[in-house]
């Protein structure tokens, strides 16, 4: 294999919301009484989840299972009904919902209250989107692109909110498809600034790279979006969770290999990927 240079995107890895959620989880280990669980994985990163488990933080999928101790709400947030049933129960709640996600929930509720039919741009089964949807009224629709828009929007007042980790390009496509069909269109651009920075840095990095490696959990929405955006610029883009997944055959003939990482990827994981690539490229 010929030698290559390794570059890392100028913005990659843990975002503000993930840092905050982890800080709250660690604080809970120090101060909480009784067992501690997160409702769903705290972040979409198997290595971090294993580390939390070693500190005594468990994981439940269903709030009904939990009757005592402390429940940590992850940065993606939870549906309104779950929040209400936790508040009515005996557990202590540590709410680590990211403020960008809270803002998307609040705006969805406001649009619905003001009479707009709410369209949510996002992944229909993603926990963050399920949470936002619960605030958006019974006729809210989740779409991933213009092709998913329902037929009965003509002449309606429509409000759009966005999963925080979507791309601006997808939002632009939905807005363009809606604007000529509806009577009134209100767009709340709830894409978070950390996502935007990481996406811009990833695209700039990919433009100068012969191969791109994106590091992050396979179920991480923001990581998947980085893969999608980098692949549009550099088709030789690969999504991995760990350094061991790097296939040296990917790197054949490359002069520059670029690395970026999702908002739930710890620095240590990025460093081990960069280290492995530098070994292979030296
Ligand atoms: Fe929050 Fe954006 Fe991170 S929504 S959890 S700051 S990716």
Residues 81 and 145 in one domain: no
Tokens 């709340």, residue located: 188
**Does any ligand 1 atom lie closer than 6 A to the CB of residue 100?**
yes
Instruction: With beta carbons less than 8 A apart as the criterion, state whether 63 and 87 touch.
Output: no
Per-residue pLDDT of 77-124, as tens digits, reads 999 999 998 888 888 999 999 999 999 999 999 999 999 999 999 999
Task: Give the pLDDT band (50/70/90) at residue 66.
Answer: low
Q: Which of 98, 126, 141 is the last residue of a domain?
A: 98
Q: Which of 45, 66, 98 is the last residue of a domain?
A: 98
Residues 21 and 74 in one domain: yes
In the predicted model, is pLDDT for residue 252 greater than 80?
A: yes
Residues 178 and 214 in one domain: no
According to the model, what pLDDT value does residue 180 have?
A: 93
Put simply, whether the predicted model's pTM sits higher than 0.95 gets the answer no
Residues 202 and 274 in one domain: yes
Residues 130 and 179 in one domain: yes
Q: Which atom of ligand 1 is the closest one to the Cα of 99?
A: 1
Residues 86 and 126 in one domain: no
Mean pLDDT of 157-161: 98
Domain that holds residue 26: 16-98
Beta bridge partners of 8: 259
Mean pLDDT of 39-49: 85
Number of other CB atoms surrounding residue 264 within 10 Å: 27
How do 70-73 and 157-162 pair as beta strands? unpaired
Q: Which atom of ligand 1 is the closest one to the Cα of 128?
A: 4
- The domain total for the chain is 3
Q: Can you give the CATH number for the domain in which 147 is found?
A: 3.40.1010.20
Residues 224 and 265 in one domain: yes
Q: Which letter, b or e, does each residue of 13-24 get, where b requires 16 or more Cβ atoms within 10 Å of its Cβ?
A: bbbebbebbbeb
Q: What percent of the chain has pLDDT over 70?
A: 98
Average model confidence (pLDDT) across the chain: 93
Residues 164 and 203 in one domain: no
**Does any ligand 1 atom lie closer than 6 A to the CB of residue 222?**
yes
Cα 260 from Cα 274, distance rounded (Å) = 10
Mean pLDDT of 39-51: 86
Catalytic residue among 19, 30, 68, 128: 128
Mean pLDDT of 217-242: 94
Per-residue pLDDT of 125-146, as tens digits, reads 999 999 999 999 999 999 999 9
Residues 259 and 198 in one domain: yes
In the predicted model, is pLDDT for residue 220 greater than 90?
A: no
Does 153 or 239 have the greater pLDDT score?
A: 239
Q: Can you give the CATH number for the domain in which 44 is found?
A: 3.40.50.11270
Residues 178 and 203 in one domain: no
Task: Give the pLDDT band (50/70/90) at residue 65.
Answer: low
According to the model, what pLDDT value does residue 67 have?
A: 65
Q: How far is the CA of 21 from the centre of ligand 1 (A)?
A: 10
Residues 68 and 112 in one domain: no
Q: Which of 135, 161, 187 is the last residue of a domain?
A: 187
């Amino acid at each position: 294999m010929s030698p290559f240079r390794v570059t890392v995107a100028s913005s990659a890895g843990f975002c503000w919301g993930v840092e905050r959620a982890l800080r709250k989880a660690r604080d809970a280990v120090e101060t909480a009484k009784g067992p501690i669980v997160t409702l769903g994985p705290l972040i979409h990163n198997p290595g971090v989840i294993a580390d939390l488990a070693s500190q005594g933080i468990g994981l439940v999928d269903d709030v009904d299972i939990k009757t005592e101790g402390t429940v940590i709400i992850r940065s993606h947030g939870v549906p309104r009904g779950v929040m209400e049933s936790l508040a009515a129960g005996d557990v202590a709640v540590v709410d680590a919902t990211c403020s960008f996600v809270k803002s998307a929930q609040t705006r969805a509720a406001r649009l619905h209250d003001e009479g707009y039919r709410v369209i949510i741009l996002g992944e229909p089964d993603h926990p963050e989107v399920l949470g936002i949807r619960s605030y958006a009224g019974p006729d809210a629709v989740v779409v991933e692109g213009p092709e998913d828009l329902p037929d009965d929007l003509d002449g309606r007042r429509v409000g759009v909110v966005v999963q925080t980790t979507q791309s601006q390009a997808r939002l632009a496509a939905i807005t363009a498809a809606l604007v000529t069909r509806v009577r009134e269109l209100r767009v709340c651009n709830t894409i978070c600034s950390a996502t935007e920075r990481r996406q811009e840095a990833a695209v700039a990095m990919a433009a100068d790279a012969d191969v791109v490696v994106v590091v992050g959990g396979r179920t991480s929405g923001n990581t998947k979006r980085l893969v999608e955006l980098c692949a549009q610029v550099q088709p030789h883009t690969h999504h991995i969770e760990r350094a061991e997944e790097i296939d040296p055959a990917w790197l054949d003939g490359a002069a520059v290999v670029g690395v970026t990482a999702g908002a739930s990827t710890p620095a240590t994981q990025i460093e081990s990927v960069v280290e492995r690539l530098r070994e292979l490229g030296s």
